[in-house]
Amino acid sequence: MNIKSIIGATIIAALVPLSAIAQDWRGWNIHPEGYPNSVAIDEFVAAVNETTDLNLQIFHGGVLGSQPDAIEQVRNNALEFGQFNMGPMGPIIPTTNVLSLPFIFSSVDHMHKAMDGEVGEIFAAAMEREGLVPLAWYDSGSRSFYNSKRPIMRPSDVEGLKLRVMNNDLFVDMVAQLGGNATPMAFSEVYQSLKTGVIDGAENNYPSYESTGHYEVAGFYSITDHLIIPECLCVSTESWNALDDATKEAVRTAARASATTQRELWATREKESLAKVEAGGATVNEVENKVAFQEKMAPVYESFIAANPDLSSVIEAIQASN
């Protein structure tokens, strides 16, 4: 750009109200088309494009990069929105790490109740300060371990297993307390790593265990339900602040409606995915004594609270919201 065009562009920017410029927003999503989250985001995109001057486009399947990178990109407004799991958010926005503590929620209903109420506001405020505005909370069910070696019945069955976790030291510690070895790894690399034996297993909900084909190469799924982590539909604070109030309202309304859709689709997909992995040869087992797993997590909480004393009130707020 030469100096003339810079001056020209500056004058235009100063004269034209932001709302009058159709703004293009690019969004990140890790899941393939047709996944509950993807369908809900498509609905969000369509509603926003119809009711506002914004022009949204979503890129499914993680084609715009890994989740930790995408979170940074949206924070920096290099991408305008994204649909994120709160697991990889913790290393970037420490308050949100509370959501990655094993067994922090007693059920998915507890998680919804907390996130849709005052507890959700605590996380929203922390995220807004760090460049992300959560517009609505999506469901991600509960996560359990799966591996290619054996069914996990008790904590000692995890000993020696090499397990992939999402990018967050809390999950490394969680697996270590059970005697396993955790490797943080990008979601897109897990299938190949399971297939070649670089890792023995991983952990996830039924829909992701199924959609990724991990059940084909790690056929023992054991219901530990150790993590219940919400997901957000987020927009960069910078893009958000540039909107007028009416547009903000329309975008939020579309996001909330999409979360309702996502949660409904999620409930159906969980059942479908379970049926599909079982039909595909996976063995799913109940864990009789989940409390034994939960008790092993005491040191995870102790070191977390020692390192983040200011967050113990957030843990208490979650426990009180049940």
Contact residues toward ligand BDP (CB under 6 A) are 30, 67, 85, 140, 166, 187, 204-205, 208, 231
**Contact between residue 114 and residue 121 where contact means Cβ atoms under 8 Å apart:** no
To ligand BDP, the closest distance from the beta carbon of 205 in angstroms equals 5
Query: Closer to ligand BDP at the Cβ: 140 or 224?
Result: 140
Residue given tokens 């039924």 in the structure block: 206
Question: Cα–Cα distance between 91 and 166 in angstroms, integer?
Answer: 11
Question: Cα–Cα distance between 196 and 198 in angstroms, integer?
Answer: 6
The CB-side HSE value for 100 (13 A sphere, CA atoms) comes to 25
Query: Closer to ligand BDP at the Cβ: 36 or 120?
Result: 36
Query: Closer to ligand BDP at the Cβ: 52 or 143?
Result: 143
Question: Cα–Cα distance between 166 and 186 in angstroms, integer?
Answer: 7
Q: Which residues pair with 162 in a beta bridge?
A: 181
Among residues 142, 163, 279, 137, the alpha carbon closest in space to that of 218 is found at 163
Question: Cα–Cα distance between 64 and 58 in angstroms, integer?
Answer: 10
Distance of CA 37 to the CA centre of its chain: 10
Q: What is the largest CA-CA distance in the chain?
A: 73
